[in-house]
Copies of this chain bind each other. A is one copy, B any other.
Amino acid sequence: MSLTVPEGYHPLHARSVPAYLASQSQLEGRLGGGEADWRVQEVSDGNVNQVFLVHGPAGSVCVKQSLPYVRLVGESWPLTLERIHFEHQALLEHGRHARGRVPQVLHHDARQYVLVLECLTPHIILRKGMTAGVRYPRFAEQMADYLARTLFFSSDLALSAEEKRRKVAAFSTNTAMCRIMEDMVFTEPYQVHPRNRWTSPQLDALAADVRGDMPLKLAASRLKYQYLTRTEALIHGDLHTGSIMVTPEDTRVIDQEFAFYGPMAFDVGALLANLLINYFSQEGHTTEAAPREPYQDWVLETMETLWSRFQARFLALWEEHGRGDAYPTALFTTEAERRGLTEERQRWLQRLLGESLSFAGVKMLRRIFGLAHNLDLDSIEDPHRRAACERACVELARSLLLDTGRFHTLTDVTAAARALGERAPRRRV
């Protein structure tokens, strides 16, 4: 891959954004006033693309553009521009399924690799809010609904095989983004790799342990095989708490550039992993003046509610809209058969929970030992304190990957998290 870009492609800069928007007449009304009245704010805090918020007298928009490299790293890590088209397609599809849970698409420019999206105000990144200890009372319910609807309606449970296979074909070429996950989630944290980093020297021995843990590496490899070979649903593909924007009333999912047809458990697991990381990080943020134990309880309750609502929602959708080619209802017509099918669906969700917890395990480990870390942990300044939180994360992650028989319900997981959290030495500052 090289940095060659298509003719006519120009990376935007804060100064060139207003002129660009002015050339798209349908956006002017939304901003109000003219080019000179628009204030541009660069907010590229994702890892990959550049993002500008543009505020006009009448309203704001969000401008997102692919660069021919990974923004966080720079030109030394080239990346295809096409990721913005996959984000666009996924936004449209997920938006149809889970109305109001993703930002509205205002404009797509295939030549400049630009998406102009609804500006989410006053939303903030969930991870920032959770690191600050803010509660989001509607988050669990809204995310459960988002997950159930996007996964169900893009799957063989809802679609004809023909429509599903066409969609698989369309997203199978998002290879550059899948490659990032294949490497950074399933491979690099388990080997010596220049991109890896961790809290050093505190976790040096643990990092070496992980790299030498054969059962763990086999478990990660089994999950990588699932990631490579399962086309269950159009998944978000990077569903951590940094890909979610919230207010106390509203939840929105952003950054769909990793979307492809993959295992449903990869999305569910990513979310659970990042909630667990936040739970363990709270120990590093707690103070005498503002103890975080009550917030930790809220995080675990949120996880439980998220899963139980998701499960109920998914089952209800399946019951009501299960007209896809998988598990054809035409085969289950008597009362006993319908009951049998309902029980099978419950077992199916149980299987999904098991796989999700395994994916949660690799997702937690990669945030401790791989390239991309989480604000929740990284904002703990004292490295000893941070390392203690990270150790607890690693311990639970290993259990999730290796003692799979231990976790039958989400409550088994929250109980294990609680036990680990309580065992860790408390430090009050």
Q: Which residues of A contact B (CB under 8 A)?
A: 156, 161-162, 164-166, 168-170, 172-173, 175, 178-179, 182, 187, 190-191, 212, 214-215, 217-218, 220-221, 224-225, 228-232, 325-328, 330-332, 334, 336-337, 340-341, 344
Contact = CB atoms under 8 A, between A and B. Distances in A.
Contact of A217 (B172, B173, B228, B337): B337
Contacts of A187: 328, 330-331
A182 to B, nearest CB: 5
A89 to B, nearest CB: 14
Given A175-B162, A175-B165, A214-B332, A326 B232 contact: no
A165 B190 contact: no
- 10 residue pairs, one from A and one from B, having the closest CB atoms: A169-B172, A162-B175, A214-B340, A156-B228, A221-B327, A169-B169, A217-B331, A165-B172, A168-B172, A225-B326
Contacts of A168: 168-169, 172, 231
A203 to B, nearest CB: 19
10 contacts: A166-B172, A168-B168, A169-B170, A214-B332, A214-B337, A217-B331, A221-B328, A224-B326, A225-B326, A229-B230
Contacts of A228: 156, 161, 164, 325-326
A234 to B, nearest CB: 12
A282 to B, nearest CB: 32
Given A217-B331, A228-B325, A232-B229, A179 B161 contact: yes
